[in-house]
């Protein structure tokens, strides 16, 4: 994939869209009203809209290394607030994926420079769940489970935020934790009981 190919592909894509619907781009320019906010990994193999079969305008997307929701990251916090308070999305999804390079890098005993403070948040997830994880002998399965637990903890971080708490209370916003199985193409709903987590943390993180 080189830059010349990108622009050639773009011309072909435009023509294909117009062949199906001559008003496609006029309608696209009218605005967006997505029902989903998707927070996923930047991994080039995981394309959010494609794996869900979603059309442009249906999903508001934020991606970063290992699908993290970190309270001092103004990027992800701005996306969450805009999607929840202004776009009024109905669902917020944190989606991790197996074979995540960020998760694996976090478990290496190596100085990764600027990545160190970011990956430390994943190491904190391991610390919280180390008893369960250390009991898994197979290394690949241990990484897979850490991917799942990381999704869970990022969902918990979501429900710590004032915007999400208020939207859950006032209009029934739902938070979901998913994993994309890169080996099969399947989306897996982890069915995290976030109502219970919200109840458990209300004493400390009640903000609305």
Which amino acids are annotated catalytic?
41, 43, 45, 97, 100
Burial 112-125 (b: 16+ CB within 10 A, else e): eeeeeebbebbeeb
Of 196, 151, 157, 156, give the one whose Cα is nearest residue 178. Answer: 151
Strand 174-180 versus strand 187-189 pairing type: antiparallel
Contacts of 128 (CB under 8 A, 6+ apart): 149, 153
Structure tokens belonging to residue 166: 């208020």
**How many other CB atoms are there within 10 angstroms of residue 126's CB atom?**
18
Structure tokens belonging to residue 180: 């994309």
Q: By three-state DSSP, how is residue 203 classified?
A: helix
């Amino acid at each position: 994939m080189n830059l010349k190919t990108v622009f050639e592909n773009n011309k072909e894509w435009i023509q294909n869209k117009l062949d199906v619907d001559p008003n496609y781009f006029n309608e696209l320019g009218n605005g967006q009203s997505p029902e989903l906010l998707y927070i996923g990994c930047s991994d080039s193999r995981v394309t959010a809209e494609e794996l869900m079969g979603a059309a442009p305008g249906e999903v508001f997307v934020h991606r970063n290394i290992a699908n993290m929701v970190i309270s001092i990251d103004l990027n992800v916090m701005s996306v969450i607030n805009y999607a929840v308070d202004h776009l009024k999305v109905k669902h917020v999804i944190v989606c991790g994926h197996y074979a995540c390079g960020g998760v694996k890098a976090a478990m290496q005993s190596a100085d990764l420079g600027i990545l160190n403070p970011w990956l430390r948040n994943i190491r904190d997830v391991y610390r919280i769940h180390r008893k369960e994880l250390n009991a898994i002998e197979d290394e690949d399965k241990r990484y897979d489970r850490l991917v799942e637990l990381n999704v869970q903890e990022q969902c918990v971080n979501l429900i710590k935020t004032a915007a999400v708490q208020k939207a859950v209370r006032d209009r029934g916003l739902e938070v979901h934790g998913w994993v994309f199985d890169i080996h099969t193409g399947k989306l897996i709903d982890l069915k995290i009981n976030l109502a219970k987590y919200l109840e458990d943390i209300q004493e400390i993180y009640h903000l609305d």
